Amino acid sequence: DAGVIQSPRHEVTEMGQEVTLRCKPISGHDYLFWYRQTMMRGLELLIYFNNNVPIDDSGMPEDRFSAKMPNASFSTLKIQPSEPRDSAVYFCASSLPGHYGYTFGSGTRLTVV
């Protein structure tokens, strides 16, 4: 298994543009998590899914953020419109039920200028 795959690795966009981050979890993992990492706030949980269903999105900062998981092998995190303060590294992670050691992707470094 190639692990959790995220794309793109780097994204630079202008303020106001729509940004879509992608994640492919490990096959068979029922849980998928989106985290945001910044110097100031560390790692913050944005949203997580269980069997493709969003369970807790209380960490999503604003309505500009949305996440979907149309099937077990794909999830997206969308920011529309993007703002400079959204600049961060966004990580996706997946795990099996009853096992809480996550496998993280390599992250997407987002820069909004």
Partner 1 sequence: AQRVTQPEKLLSVFKGAPVELKCNYSYSGSPELFWYVQYSRQRLQLLLRHISRESIKGFTADLNKGETSFHLKKPFAQEEDSAMYYCALHRTGGGADGLTFGKGTHLIIQP
Give the side-chain half-sphere CA count within 13 A for 32: 29
Q: Are 109 and 55 in contact (CB under 8 A)?
A: no
50 DSSP β-pair partners: 31, 53
CB-wise, 52 or 81, nearer to partner 1? 52
Q: Which of 13, 20, 22, 45 binds partner 1 (CB under 8 A)?
A: 45
- Give the single-character DSSP code of 96: -
Question: Can residue 15 be called a binding residue for partner 1 (CB under 8 A)?
Answer: no
> To the nearest whole angstrom, how small is the minimum distance from the Cβ of residue 85 to partner 1?
18
Question: Can residue 113 be called a binding residue for partner 1 (CB under 8 A)?
Answer: no
Give the side-chain half-sphere CA count within 13 A for 57: 14
Q: Which of 24, 33, 60, 82 binds partner 1 (CB under 8 A)?
A: 33
- Give the single-character DSSP code of 62: S
Residues 69-98 that bind partner 1 (CB under 8 A): 91, 93, 95, 97-98
For the chain, give the number of residues: 113
Query: What does the binding site for partner 1 look like in residue numbers (CB under 8 A)?
Result: 4, 31, 33, 35, 41-43, 45, 48, 50, 55-56, 59, 91, 93, 95, 97-98, 100-107
